Amino acid sequence: MVLPHFKLVSFALCPYVQRARIMLFEKNIPHDTEYIDLRSPPPWFLDVSPLEKVPVLLVDDKPLFESMPICEYLDEITPGSLHPTDPFKKAQNRAWIEYGNDILDLTYQFFNAKDETTFKRLIANLRDRFETLEEIVDTGPFFNGETFGIIDAVYAPIFRFHAAVRQYADFKFFDDTPKVTRWTEALLARPSAQQSVPESYETDLDTYLKKRNSLFGARIRGQAAV
């Protein structure tokens, strides 16, 4: 099988980039990765990214944007799909992927909340989201059971954020979610997930979180690095 040349345009902390990188590693697809600074992107970036976001996959220099189309494309051009074959299960997986996107939105809001009422609401919302996941996730090790899927590539970066949060303070997101906790452990131990972040990831995340002009930022400043 002759594959095109792939370059993933990335940002070190981006969970949407990580899901695409996990797919590249899971599918053994040779690729280059170029990290850019989103605060000061190179001029060519605007030409390949209509929404001015990463990830962008350059396929023989042709750009593909949005993480889920990228993940599904990588899955489809290589043998052995990581989506369930049953159409209903596949649609369900896609729906729970969207749920994961919502958890990411809430997590960013949680990092950036400036007032106590919003912060408390977000903590309650996130707890609720993980408790709902607990009811639907398989007994493991992965979302669908034995087989690692695209949905696992989506949730690994979400759980990576929350594993880091937990090292600063325990917001009790996972007190009543033993299945989600086992799922997290399986995902964070997965080689593709470990390879999906650069070596500087933990230091970069520590800097990013402590810089937040927010209640969370204030709470963790002065605490030990992740």
Ligand X SMILES: N[C@@H](CCC(=O)N[C@@H](CS)C(=O)NCC(=O)O)C(=O)O
Residues that bind ligand X (CB under 6 A): 11, 14, 16, 38, 52-55, 66-68
- 10 Å Cβ neighbour count for 17? 25
Residue matched to tokens 């903590």: 123
The distance of closest approach from Cβ of residue 167 to ligand X in the complex, given in angstroms and rounded to an integer, is 21
Task: Classify burial at 199, counting beta carbons within 10 Å of its beta carbon; exposed 0-12, middle 13-18, buried 19 or more.
Answer: exposed
Type of residue found at 85: T
H/E element, 194? helix 191-195
Cβ distance to ligand X smaller for residue 97 or 186: 97
Structure-block tokens of residue 41 = 């992107």
The distance of closest approach from Cβ of residue 29 to ligand X in the complex, given in angstroms and rounded to an integer, is 18
The distance of closest approach from Cβ of residue 39 to ligand X in the complex, given in angstroms and rounded to an integer, is 7
The distance of closest approach from Cβ of residue 205 to ligand X in the complex, given in angstroms and rounded to an integer, is 12
What DSSP character marks residue 63?
A: E
Cα–Cα distances (Å) from 225 to 12, 89, 116, 202, 207, in that order, read: 17, 40, 24, 8, 9
The distance of closest approach from Cβ of residue 25 to ligand X in the complex, given in angstroms and rounded to an integer, is 18
Cβ distance to ligand X smaller for residue 67 or 177: 67
Cβ distance to ligand X smaller for residue 72 or 131: 72
The distance of closest approach from Cβ of residue 208 to ligand X in the complex, given in angstroms and rounded to an integer, is 11
Type of residue found at 35: Y
Type of residue found at 55: P
Report the C-alpha gap between 185 and 165 in whole angstroms.
15
